[in-house]
């Protein structure tokens, strides 16, 4: 069935959990631009109140707090929920697995329980390429084997499985969107993580003179220049995919699973060289050892969402993605300037 041309939907009331974070805040802006009524819940552990537009209600609290969530659900009658809340640092997840399972699975269960109690049956969930682990097939399709290699990836896979159980038990309908590497910005909203571990903002920090250099983890991979290849998707393209998935979820009343990437891979050195061209600055780097568990190539097949929902990346060029992130970084040298950096 083709959903690409059937998206004229009425305005909905949507809870965005984790809407003060990087991707969530951009999705909030997109939903609000389309006339949907959006409410944000975020504990601000990793997000920024300033990333939420002034006119959007922001309820500061934890999705694991039953009483808090109940009050929010009682105040608004939501049509659907988008769930961006997570701890999402792979290395940290290896050090602190219990915190990851507690936050990404345990607290998510409270959100699901509250949805069930308030009769909300539609959920969009932020999943990840990390559920696949070391891929056997590249580009990675949705039905590729799922063998996560760290607690972060496992926490997301477990939650996907919980969603299937809830579908069988009480009719939950979920769209799991497995993002590869989100990158880029709009003039208003960008990436401000603390600590920052993502390649593009780190490289731009070097360009901006905030870090002396960047370490490339391994240059002996079986790739053309020896460095790892990753798939970078512009957050605005991600945000549009959320809107398409939401509409399809409600129209089809059936669950959806989509991998979301650019479909094109770029090596670490290509990212550095492209950032040098975009910024006009030299970006010094040194070669370090490989990191354990880093696959050589991670590229998504986004064919399913392209075919079924008519999604297509509008910003597939790496230079455009980096340029948007650079523009935001220059306009916001201290990020959101709230000390979370």
Collect all residues with Cβ–Cβ distance below 8 Å to 185 and sequence separation of at least 6.
191, 235, 324, 325, 327, 328, 329
Q: Which of 32, 50, 53, 64 binds ligand NAD (CB under 6 A)?
A: 64
Q: Does 43 participate in binding ligand NAD (rule CB under 6 A)?
A: yes
Q: Which is nearer to ligand NAD, 9 or 320 (CB)?
A: 320
Q: How far is the CB of 332 from ligand NAD (least distance, A)?
A: 15
Residues 77-106 that bind ligand NAD (CB under 6 A): 84-86, 88, 103
Rounded to an integer, what distance in angstroms lies between the CA atom of residue 65 and that of residue 67?
6
- 59 in helix, strand or coil? strand
Sign of the Cα pseudo-torsion (18, 142, 244, 121, in order): negative
Q: Which is nearer to ligand NAD, 6 or 45 (CB)?
A: 45
CB 153 within 8 A of CB 88: no
Q: Which is nearer to ligand NAD, 92 or 287 (CB)?
A: 92
Q: Which of 47, 133, 218, 261 binds ligand NAD (CB under 6 A)?
A: 47
Rounded to an integer, what distance in angstroms lies between the CA atom of residue 20 and that of residue 294?
29
Q: Does 22 participate in binding ligand NAD (rule CB under 6 A)?
A: yes
Q: Does 162 participate in binding ligand NAD (rule CB under 6 A)?
A: no
- 230 in helix, strand or coil? strand
Buried b (16+ CB within 10 A) or exposed e, 280-291: eeebeeeeeeee
Q: How far is the CB of 210 from ligand NAD (least distance, A)?
A: 19
Q: Which of 42, 79, 237, 308 binds ligand NAD (CB under 6 A)?
A: 42
Return the range that interacts with ligand NAD (CB under 6 A); candidates 136-144, 176-184, 283-291, 325-333: 176-184
Tokens at 160, concatenated:
């996907």
Rounded to an integer, what distance in angstroms lies between the CA atom of residue 257 and that of residue 247?
14
Q: Does 46 participate in binding ligand NAD (rule CB under 6 A)?
A: yes
Q: Which of 3, 73, 159, 179 binds ligand NAD (CB under 6 A)?
A: 179
DSSP, res 141: P
Closest to 185 (Cα-Cα) out of 39, 299, 31, 330: 330
Residues touching ligand NAD: how many (CB under 6 A)? 27
Q: Catalytic site residues?
A: 152
Q: Does 184 participate in binding ligand NAD (rule CB under 6 A)?
A: no
Return the range that interacts with ligand NAD (CB under 6 A); candidates 162-170, 175-183, 301-309, 328-336: 175-183
CB 30 within 8 A of CB 243: yes
Q: How far is the CB of 239 from ligand NAD (least distance, A)?
A: 11
Rounded to an integer, what distance in angstroms lies between the CA atom of residue 51 and that of residue 82?
17
Q: Does 216 participate in binding ligand NAD (rule CB under 6 A)?
A: no
Q: Does 36 participate in binding ligand NAD (rule CB under 6 A)?
A: no
Residues 227-266 that bind ligand NAD (CB under 6 A): none
Q: How far is the CB of 256 from ligand NAD (least distance, A)?
A: 16
* DSSP result, 253-302: -S-EEEEES-S--EEHHHHHHHHHHHHTS---EEEEPPPTT--SEE-B--
Return the range that interacts with ligand NAD (CB under 6 A); candidates 21-29, 93-101, 241-249, 265-273: 21-29
Half-sphere exposure of 196 (CA within 13 A, CB side): 22
Q: Which of 28, 38, 39, 62 binds ligand NAD (CB under 6 A)?
A: 62
What are the counts of helices (DSSP H) followed by strands (DSSP E) for the chain?
Answer: 11, 14
Q: Does 24 participate in binding ligand NAD (rule CB under 6 A)?
A: yes
CB 293 within 8 A of CB 129: no
Q: Which residues bind ligand NAD (CB under 6 A)?
A: 18, 20-24, 42-47, 62-64, 84-86, 88, 103, 107, 126, 128, 179, 181-182, 193
């Amino acid at each position: 069935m083709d959903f690409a041309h059937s998206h004229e939907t009425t305005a909905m009331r949507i809870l965005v959990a984790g809407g003060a974070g990087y991707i969530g805040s951009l999705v909030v802006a997109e939903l609000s631009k389309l006339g949907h009524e959006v409410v944000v819940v975020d504990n601000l552990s990793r997000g920024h109140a300033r990333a939420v537009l002034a006119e959007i209600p922001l309820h500061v609290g934890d999705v694991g707090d039953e009483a808090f969530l109940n009050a929010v659900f009682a105040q608004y009658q939501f049509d659907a929920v988008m769930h961006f809340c997570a701890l999402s640092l792979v290395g940290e997840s290896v050090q602190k697995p219990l915190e990851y399972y507690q936050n990404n699975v345990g607290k998510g269960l409270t959100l699901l329980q509250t949805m069930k109690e308030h009769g909300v049956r539609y959920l969009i969930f932020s999943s990840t390429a990390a559920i696949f682990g070391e891929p056997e097939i590249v580009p990675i399709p949705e039905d590729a084997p799922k063998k996560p290699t760290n607690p972060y990836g496992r926490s997301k896979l477990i939650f996907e499985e919980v969603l299937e159980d809830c579908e069988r038990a009480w009719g939950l309908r979920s769209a799991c969107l497995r993002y590869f590497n989100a990158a880029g910005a709009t003039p208003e909203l960008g990436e401000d993580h603390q600590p920052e571990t993502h390649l593009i903002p780190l490289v731009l920090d070097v360009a901006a003179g905030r870090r002396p250099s960047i370490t490339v983890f391994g240059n002996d991979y079986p790739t053309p220049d020896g460095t790892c290849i990753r798939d970078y998707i512009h957050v605005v393209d991600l945000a549009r995919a959320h809107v398409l998935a939401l509409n399809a979820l409600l129209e089809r009343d059936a669950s959806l699973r989509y991998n979301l990437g650019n479909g094109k891979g770029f090596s670490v050195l290509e990212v550095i060289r492209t950032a040098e061209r975009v910024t006009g600055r030299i970006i010094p780097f040194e070669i370090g050892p490989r990191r354990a568990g880093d696959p050589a190539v991670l590229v998504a097949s986004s064919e399913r969402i392209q075919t079924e929902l008519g999604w297509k990346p509008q910003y597939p060029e790496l230079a455009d993605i980096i340029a948007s992130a650079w523009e935001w970084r220059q306009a916001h040298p201290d990020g959101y300037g709230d000390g979370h950096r």
